[in-house]
Structure 1
């Protein structure tokens, strides 16, 4: 199964000069927890999550309208996959990177979709929970989730 077979399209994105206030409002209105950040050429520049916004609010001691997305994503790596990648590759990247969602980009680095654990589960088991014909096993999903949820030893010892 390929990423293009299960990714969702029509992904909302934001500019790096957007304020966290604007992004938080958009996330609330769209009921989403992560957004790709794109540059002036609409190429992937990063990702921003609702957790990033919450942590910036707690740690920067500024109103959200005074904090730009760029202030939060600067220096962070951004993982992505391609529509022609095999889903197991995307799961491996998600597990190793400890992320639940990953943007899908074309050869020009333009965002064409997003794939998350929810998408993988829905395409493997459906919304009813009934197993569908799929190359993804329950063990594949569990292994990915275990990697994502593994305690961060660097933070645990700090």
Structure 2
């Protein structure tokens, strides 16, 4: 059985909810990632921040990324998966919620992230094509 822990990218890092978006952008650059899980004061997942969120949700609306926090951008119910979950559960979660990045949790701690690139490296072409179709086909415009 292939698990979430087997396919995830290790070394994911939180951005605390109180951190500003300019700091989040710097961290994304340093880590070479396009998304960061947002943590509350107890290091619990409270959202995901993407580079697109910073640009479209803050900058394009005329807000100052040095004065807007990651927590202000957290919307909806954050999704995550246990490191021991089967890859079929990963696909079901991502497809069901039409998400492209999924934090992986083990013993209540962030241990990695699963992204499209991680799936591409571990799924067959047929599995990947089906996943892409289901995640992107019904995606509502933002």
Q: TM-score, normalised by structure 2?
A: 0.89
Higher strand share: 2
Q: Deviations over 1:66-103 (max 9, x none)?
A: 11111111x42211111111111101211221211100
Q: Distance in 1 between matches of 2:41 and 2:106?
A: 16
**Greater CA radius of gyration, 1 or 2?**
1
Q: What secondary structure sits across from 2:46 in the alignment?
A: strand
Alignment of 1:8-157 (within 5 A): 8-56=9-57, 57-59=59-61, 61-73=62-74, 75-108=75-108, 110-122=109-121, 124=122, 136-153=123-140, 155=141
Structure 2: stretches of 5+ with no match in the other structure = none
Q: What secondary structure sits across from 2:81 in the alignment?
A: coil
Greater relative contact order, per chain length (Cα 8 Å cut-off, separation 6+): 2
* Cα pair 1:82 1:106 within 8 Å, conserved: yes
Structure 1: stretches of 5+ with no match in the other structure = 125-135
Q: Distance in 1 between matches of 2:67 and 2:139?
A: 30
Q: Distance in 2 between matches of 1:78 and 1:104?
A: 12
Q: Distance in 2 between matches of 1:44 and 1:113?
A: 13
Higher helix share: 1
How many residues in Structure 1 have an aligned counterpart in Structure 2?
A: 140
Q: What secondary structure sits across from 1:85 in the alignment?
A: coil
* Cα pair 1:4 1:83 within 8 Å, conserved: yes
4+ runs of 1 displaced by more than 4 Å?
none
Q: TM-score, normalised by structure 1?
A: 0.80
